[in-house]
Structure formats: C-alpha cells, structure tokens
Amino acid sequence: MIPLRPELFSFTDPKSLCRLTCTSKTLRKDVRDTNAWARLSEAQLPPARPRDAAGDALSRVRSQTIRRRLADALSQETPQPQMRLNRFEDFTYFVRLEEDGVIIWEGDLTQHIHTPYGHSVSLLGAWYSIQDSEPWEGMEEFLTTPTDDDDFEGYLRSVGITIVAIRNDDQAMVSLGHFRFHEAIGSVGAAEQEYAYKSRQPLFSSERFELTPLAVLRVTHNEWGVGTLDALELRLEHYSPEAVYHPYNADGFVEPPGSGESYFQFRYLLSYLAGTHHRGREQALATIKQWHDKAASVLGGSWPNYDSESDETNEGE
C-alpha cells in the first residue's frame, strides 16, 4: 500500500487529479476522504487580501442601487431603457503573458493610461513583479538586443497575450481574446517601440462586417539590460468583405470616420458585451450595425456596390 500525501495535492492541477480519481475505485475513495479537491481549490485561489470594510459596504450599496433601478423601470411607465455606456476605467483587465505556451505572469491590471488612439493599461507593475520573482530571460534579451533585423519577429511569435475585461460594478466578464504577434509599428530599432498583437476571434461579427480587438504591446528597449514592458493599448479594427471591392480599401479594413470614433466604438461594444438591460439590447445592436452604414456612406457610392467601370479606369491609369 502506498499512502496518499494530502499536503501534496495543492501542487497538482485539475487534470492530473481527475486522472488519479479515475484510476481505481480505491483511489477515488482516498481522494474523497482526503478532501483533495478542496485542497487544490484553496491553492488555486489568489492570495487573500485584507478585508476592506469600506469596500464591502460600497459593493453592497452598488448592488442595491442596481436592483432598485431595475425594479423602478419595471414598476413605472418609464422610457425605453437605454444602454449604460461604461468607461474603460470601469473595468479591471486580467492579463496572461505566455512564452511557447508557458505562463510567465498573470494578474489584474488597473492602472489606466489615456492615449489618442485607444486605451492603455500599464504593464510596469507586472514587469517589476516578474523581475522580482523569476526573470523572464527571453524577454530581457529581446529588450536588450537591437531590433534592426528580422530576429525580433521569431521571438515575438512565441509570446502570447490573453486579456479578459471584468466590469467592477457587477463582475461581468468579457473575453477580449488571445492575441498573437502581427507586426511592428513605427521604426524598428527605436528605443520606444510598439508591436501589434491580433486576436484570433472578432468581438462582434455579422454578415457584413467584423469588429476585432487589437492589443498593442508598448516596450522600451535598452542595450544596458534595463528595458521594460510599458503598457498594453487596446484598439478596435473594423473589417468588411464588402470593402475589398472599394478601390481605396483593398485590404478590407475600414477606418471609422471622425477623430476618436474608434475609441468610442470600443467603449460602446465593451459595454454592450458586458451586459445591459434586456429591453435596451435591440437599440444597442442597431447602433453597432449603423457604424458600418456610416463608414460606407463616407467612402462613397462604390461601396458596397462594386463599380466595374471605375475599377477598370483605375487599372488603366
């Protein structure tokens, strides 16, 4: 007989414990008797934070306010509920950094940075935390080595980024996606550099267009070995197969008309996906679909209707 060591279950993972449970009837009973799943669950939880009485009270007040607002809307003859537009700061961003499928760091990002093109969350705290625990050797070398050749692409393709947005009021979650390296932005080799990472899946998809998130990794290169991961900037891309037939949008990507329009659209889409009043969803969905119609009207009448004569003229020129 080989006795089980209950204290070791906190170092395993759910898949391994499940396989052990299925091995035999005797082991299944031993796992149950030693409370193995409870030990594993406790180990998986993040470190407990000191109890914040004020924070708990604020959460209860918010919860009561939301339920009373919903009850008022049902009991009174009020106008059709409108979607509540959240700010990016109303969300916490759970981020996981990986290299070749190995988790390097994961945690919540709450320090926000405003930029002209999108919204950023600071990575400096995460970077210093990585350095304090176990240095990320591959990234350290990448941030030190000059990036004026093609080697940087090979390394960045091994780095994966996963982002989940959690709304602070009600803990509603939006899976923004798992991002893979797409391209470098700007002059490769500069001290301050940006690298675009694309999600595998769109956040919103219809027959006519898709809205896909883009995560821009902003870093500082330093030849003395003190480079840093600075921030993650969130952007939104608008793609349509219709736009491929427009002479000025052969790649299918559409720039929203107006300064800051993409920033607003990302906020709106994030608020919609996090959840809104069920009687306001139809109007919110119609608003999102209008973005495509507005973009088409700005680009001109040749989209979405393909103008063959115009195309032949352009080819002749």
Q: Model confidence over 240-271: pLDDT tens digits?
A: 877 776 666 667 777 765 556 788 889 999 99
More confident residue, 83 or 222: 222
Q: CA-to-CA distance for 162 and 62, rounded, in angstroms?
A: 29
Determine the distance from the C-alpha atom of residue 247 to the mean position of all C-alpha atoms in its chain, rounded to a whole number: 32
Name the least confident of 196-210, 223-237, 274-288: 274-288
Quick check: 57 pLDDT over 70?
yes
Determine the distance from the C-alpha atom of residue 116 to the mean position of all C-alpha atoms in its chain, rounded to a whole number: 19
| Residue 119: pLDDT band with limits 50, 70, 90 | confident
Tally the C-alpha atoms within 13 A of residue 262's C-alpha that lie toward its C-beta: 22
Domain extent listing, the chain: 9-43, 88-277+284-309
The pTM assigned to this predicted structure is: 0.71
More confident residue, 27 or 160: 160
Closest residue by Cα to residue 36 from 51, 14, 52, 57: 14
More confident residue, 245 or 161: 161
Q: What was the pLDDT predicted at 312?
A: 41
Q: What was the pLDDT predicted at 50?
A: 58
Q: What was the pLDDT predicted at 310?
A: 40
Which of the given ranges, 23-37, 110-124, 141-155, 298-312, has the highest pLDDT on average? 110-124
Run of H or E residues at 241: none
Percent of residues in the chain assigned helix, strand, coil, to nearest 5:
40, 25, 35
Closest residue by Cα to residue 156 from 94, 112, 224, 221: 221
